[in-house]
Structures are given as C-alpha cells and as structure tokens.
Amino acid sequence: MSLLETAGLAALRRLDPERAHGLALSALRAGLAGGRGPFGTPRLTCRIAGLEFRNPVGLAAGFDKNATALDALYRTGFGFIEVGGVTPRPQEGNPRPRLFRLTEDRAVINRFGFNNDGMEAVATRLAAHGGGRTGLNLGANKDSPDRAGDYARVLAYCGPHIDFATVNVSSPNTEKLRDLQGKAALSALLAGVKEANAALTRPVPILLKIAPDLTDGELAEIAAVAEGQGLSAIVATNTTLGRDGLRSPHRDEAGGLSGRPLFERSTRVLARLSTLTDLPLIGVGGIGSAEDAYAKIRAGASAVQLYSALVYEGLSLVDRIAKGLDGLLERDGVRTLAEAVGTGREEWL
C-alpha cells in the first residue's frame, strides 16, 4: 500500500462510514485511483458457466450498487465485478446510520436495506460501461406485493447489459427476504427468473447467493433446487447475523456482519456446499489476503469476491491478492486454478 493510499484511508476512516464510501466512489469516478486493469497469467485464468475471467478476484455486490464507477474499478485489477443489489423501483433503504466499522474486528455491519437508484438508472449506466465481466445482483422492493416477480423484472430490464445475474435472497436487511430461501418459495422464484432469462436475446448465467446461517439440511435443499433449476453457480456467502467473539463497541448493531469474523463461518459453508453439488462456487466472506483467497479456492471455490477488506486495506489489495495467489499456485506446482479447487476442503468439514 502506498503512502498516498494509506493517508487517504486514514482520512476516510475519520468520516461517517457511508459518507466515506460515497467519497471513495467519487474519487474513483474522478480518476484518482490508479491501475492498469486485472493482473493475469495462464494459472489465474478461470472459467465459470462459460465465462472466462482474467483472474478469479471479483468485487462483491454492494460496493458499487448503482454502477457509477465500473470502468475505474476495473482498472484497479478486478477480474469481474458484481453491481447491485438493484430493485425495480428506486428505494431509500433503511434509516441512517446503517453502516458501521468494527475496526477492532476488521469487520463491517450494514443494514442498508437494498438502497439503490432502481433498474432504469442502473441499466443506463451498464449500457455505457466500457468493458469487463459485469454481473448484476437482483433484488426486490421492500414494499412489493410480488417480491419473487421483482427479480424477474430486474433481469428482463437489465439483462441485455450484463454477463451474469445473481439472485439475492440472503440479505438479512429486508424483512422476511430470507424466507425466499425455502425450497418451495425458492423454486417458484427461480422459475420466474429462468423464464425472464430465456426471453432475453442473449440469456445469461444465473447465480444464487446464499446466507452463511443455514443448517446442513437447508444447504442440501438449496443445492438440490439450484441444480434442479439449472443454475450456473452458487455464491457462498452473504453477511451473517452471528456476533460471536466481536470486540468492537458496534458489535450489537442490527444488520449483516461481514469482514474477518465471517471468514471461518463462510468457508465452512462453502466446503460443505462443495460436497452437496457439482455447481461452481464463488467464495465470499472475510477475504483480506492472497492466503485467504487460496483457502477459499482449496475449500471449493472456483473464484472469490471481496468487499469489506477494502475498507481497511484499500483498492491496491485487489492487485496484491491476484499476484499473491498466482505465487501460491506456482509454489505448489499448480498449473491452473481449476486444479486447486477443493483440494483442501477436508480441513473445513
């Protein structure tokens, strides 16, 4: 991390977290972040659902909800980026404050509640985007009479401008949203999304993002539904409602916990899920180093996503993880990333 980035992060951490996040996006749009695009080698190239990524380090949904800084974010080194969650209509989300740094725990708690500009504004920005693998996290309006139908509507509207879509039924910040992870409700929701996808001129891979707070039985049901509906991959995991071992004064704030404390929980879910399905998995939760990314891959992930660690490490972390991961693969004599997937899952079961 450069001295300039260190000073910038220190200044941002003196501000309210949500305001600091907004300023970071403004700085990106102004061209203040460097980088020449994603680092890649033949070892790092990964393929999921027919899509090839130069490296397996992605940006998780939530950082650039409204697709306002995509080109700048790709220059920092991400192999792929997921924007959103996006709902059919714009919505304000939950009252502020709704974002909290847990510095002592290297963690974040958020209870945003799908605040976003709505599918029309986001689709316009996606259409103007200059390149790079881009996915969209689909959401539902809080007051919608048909939340399941909202997912299909967003995909139908934004689908022509994205490379993949993620069905997000695992956010803890919209009341009763996680109820859609149940077998019957999830099957019905995915059927609607599949119908909307089939109607696109260029159908896209459909992913499902799950919570880390599921039982083994619930995981098995979700894996079976995902396979039965012909999904392309599963994203494991979203934020957790757990609060074990936290030290920060903000530890009891309501919302989803992400960052370092989520790493073990999410990686165990990932490893367990890899025994239940042959679908590709994307590992998310607590990644803050190349070693963390490698652990996720060895637990069963074909690619990974970051978010919370950027609050503490800055965007240069993306390039450091990609290059560090390449070095770890070379050290272990691994010729391609795919060869490493799942080789260490027993450590997490």
Specify the DSSP element, H or E, that contains 18.
helix 17-29
Apex CA 288: angle with CA 204 and CA 331, to 5°?
Answer: 90
Tell me the per-residue pLDDT of 114-143, one tens digit each, with 9 for 90 and over: 999 999 999 999 999 878 999 999 999 999
Mean pLDDT of 299-310: 98
Q: Tokens 């390449």 — which residue? A: 326
Q: Is the pLDDT of residue 149 over 70?
A: yes
In the prediction, which pLDDT does 180 show? 76
- Any catalytic annotation for residue 171? yes
The single residue of 170, 171, 258, 274 carrying the catalytic annotation is 171
| Of the listed ranges 25-34, 61-70, 314-323, the one predicted with least confidence | 25-34
CA 128 to chain CA centroid, nearest Å: 22
Predicted pLDDT of residue 178: 66
Distance (Å, whole) CA 207 – CA 322: 23
- Quick one: average pLDDT of 64-68? 98
CATH entry 3.40.50.850 includes domain 3-348: no
Phi and psi at residue 172, to the nearest 5°: -85, 5
| Average pLDDT of the chain, as a whole number | 95
**What Å distances lie between residue 296 and 141, 159, 267, 286, 336, CA to CA?**
32, 29, 6, 10, 15
Q: Decide which of 35 and 3 is more confident.
A: 35
Question: For the whole model, what pTM was predicted?
Answer: 0.96
What string of DSSP letters covers 248-289?
STTTT-SSEEEEGGGHHHHHHHHHHHHTT--S-EEEESS--S
Q: Extract the runs of DSSP E, i.e. beta strands, from 211-252.
A: 233-236
pLDDT mean over 157-175: 89
Could you tell me which residues come within 8 angstroms of residue 203 by beta carbon, excluding any fewer than 6 positions away?
Answer: 159, 197
